[in-house]
Amino acid sequence: MDLKQIQYFIALFEDGSVTRAAKRLNIVQPALSMQIAKLEEEFGQKLFDRIPHGMVPTAAGRMMYRLLLPIVRDLANARQQLMQRDEQVAGSISIGMVASETESVLVGSLARFNARYPNVEVSVADGFSATLIDQVSAGQLDAAVVHKPRGKLSLHVQSLHDEEMVLVTSAKHGPELPAAVELTKLPGLELVLPTKRHGLRGVLDAATQLEDVTLQPKFEIDILGTIVQFVEATRFATVLPRIVVQRAVGEGRLRVYPILAPRIVRHLVCVSHPQRPLSTAADALIAIVAEEIRRVSGTAA
């Protein structure tokens, strides 16, 4: 198996048609079919099934694609870095971010990054921390900004920011509360929280379990913007990082209360694959994101 065969296989897998793949590669169809046949002969397995309107990968074909895609991405990134000049960084990067950061710092981060690196294309995915970590491991993302998991990872982990989580209520409809609220008092409130799949809920549950506190929210919602809107319009309370509600607090729509005994802190980290070093552009974007997080949360040096 050589690089040309890998490129032919990837094109056919993604296009699902010999005609389209050959056009994409700028080769004749028989040349593509011959290389795929050689691959199937080398590995002793059928990689595609022919159907009336194209080609469908077999289980072996899907496995090969999953294994080869990171290699192709690494080669493309290596080529970009070797060819680029210091004064003109170019190429493409793909990162993942948890929703709390896409909603609070992504716009500002991309604006700053584009002004500095106008020739770099950026793809951003959001999702749960566990999903983004899996995508980095599989080579589908260059890096991801996630909540630090409890267990050890085989990925490179770079600490970005530690932030206190606070109790949030409506400035208009919320209950009267003391200036700070003890963790043990949370079960007495009407709560709306992210589901247990969400990284923020994992941080909260870890803290409450240590204190033998059980939370039973009336509503569970994973869309942070919806939680904020719901709390603003009702007597319900929630627990979120301060950065998520900073704007609404500044506009007088929400109130926040520190949580004491103990404080709840979420740890944001950047994960990347140790065998796939980040490009100059990816490193720069992560640094800008970290700076924006500290700026918006009011902890910039």
Query: How many structural domains are present in the chain?
Result: 3
- Choosing from 44, 60, 81, the residue where a domain stops is 81
CA 294 to CA 161: how far, in whole Å? 7
Q: Is residue 301 part of a domain?
A: no
Q: Is residue 274 part of a domain?
A: yes
Which pair of tokens denotes residue 277? Answer: 């070093």
pLDDT tens digits, residue range 262-292?
889 999 999 999 888 888 889 999 999 999 9
Secondary structure (3-state) at 125 = strand
The answer on pLDDT for 301 being more than 60 is no
| CATH number of the domain that residue 63 is part of | 1.10.10.10
Residues 6+ apart with CB under 8 A from 52: none
Looking at the fold, whether 177 and 239 belong to one and the same domain comes out as yes
pLDDT tens digits, residue range 237-265?
999 999 999 889 999 999 999 999 888 99
Once rounded to an integer, what is the mean pLDDT over residues 141-145? 95
| CATH number of the domain that residue 216 is part of | 3.40.190.290
Looking at the fold, whether 59 and 181 belong to one and the same domain comes out as no
pLDDT tens digits, residue range 79-127?
666 665 544 677 899 999 998 898 889 999 999 999 888 889 999 999 9
Of the candidate ranges 72-76, 98-102, 156-160, the one whose mean pLDDT is the lowest: 72-76
Looking at the fold, whether 76 and 96 belong to one and the same domain comes out as no
pLDDT tier at 70 (50, 70, 90 boundaries)? confident
- Choosing from 81, 108, 143, the residue where a domain stops is 81
Looking at the fold, whether 111 and 70 belong to one and the same domain comes out as no
Looking at the fold, whether 262 and 188 belong to one and the same domain comes out as yes
Looking at the fold, whether 229 and 182 belong to one and the same domain comes out as yes
HSE of 208 in the Cβ direction (CA atoms, 13 Å)? 17
Domain span at residue 38? 3-81
Q: Is residue 36 part of a domain?
A: yes
Q: b/e string for 196-222 if b means 16 or more Cβ within 10 A? A: eebbbbbbbeebbeeeebebebeeebb
pLDDT tens digits, residue range 27-67?
999 999 999 999 999 999 999 998 888 889 999 999 999 88
Task: Give the model's pLDDT for residue 4.
Answer: 87
Looking at the fold, whether 26 and 143 belong to one and the same domain comes out as no
Q: Is residue 232 part of a domain?
A: yes
Mean pLDDT, rounded, of the chain: 90
Query: In the chain, pLDDT over 90 holds for what percent of residues?
Result: 64
